[in-house]
Structure 1
């Protein structure tokens, strides 16, 4: 069983019903550790040694956050700048993350249709996540298809939100247990493309 580290970042978590639902679905799931970066580091002073130790103890790393200005909340960038050091995460001697898996779990205010070439945002979400894919490559990690929850601020149906959160839970458990094939992960654009393949 692989160990999963959720690096969670939401500066307005108290107002977030989407991310609350996603995290609620992960409560008490064996092998999944949720690490709330804003809660741990309210002043943005990152404990680099602790974070590097956490990374080494886990096999799958998940950046979970809302998509802010086509990127991540500020603490994610600060975390990456501080923790993914030369000699640890990359460079001739930086092999600490080699072979680990990296995944983005994103919530967006915009609809799926708005994240197309003819939509309001002009690009697919996956294109805005290119820096994370490149980071994975530089660190010798494998970047997995992202999980995306669209239109989070317009979802009024509590059951729909719970169902989506349960899909997230099932997909992470499948990654933890290795029940999604490498071929399936290679051909999927988004992690939710594989929901029908789950047992």
Structure 2
């Protein structure tokens, strides 16, 4: 992807996060990017084409980051260590790309239906990967009464809330988010029968 194309997509992303999709006309995007409208149209045929290119890029980034934060659980691995490492990786990845996460997590007012569908498909893809990890973890605890699909939805919800707090204006610290997510993962491991309840509050 050309440097100018990347610059335009960065400008469009910032504009959408600030003013919403309704405020992201081609004229406004050209102004935000500091390019002429002919230059903009030489890169993207119309607003729909630009939005599609933006979401191709941002979706790939989020899915790559989410995959990095949900590693496989190899035989003999310590699930507590894996879970806590995943928390640290996820939080640092969110902080490394705040504008991407602001875009992905923003409210859907004015969002094109095709964009909404892509977000939902991406969320489901991540949830399925999380569920696969949870299936392995609950098997370690020999539990057959834990609904890993439901637990996976809970993990996604907690992760999205944490990401919103990290990139929002509230100034929630990295340490506070990591500490809370680590506590939640340890509680989840207790529920899965992998970790004793007496150790759940440690670390």
TM band (smaller chain): under 0.3
Larger Rg: 2
Larger helix percent: 2
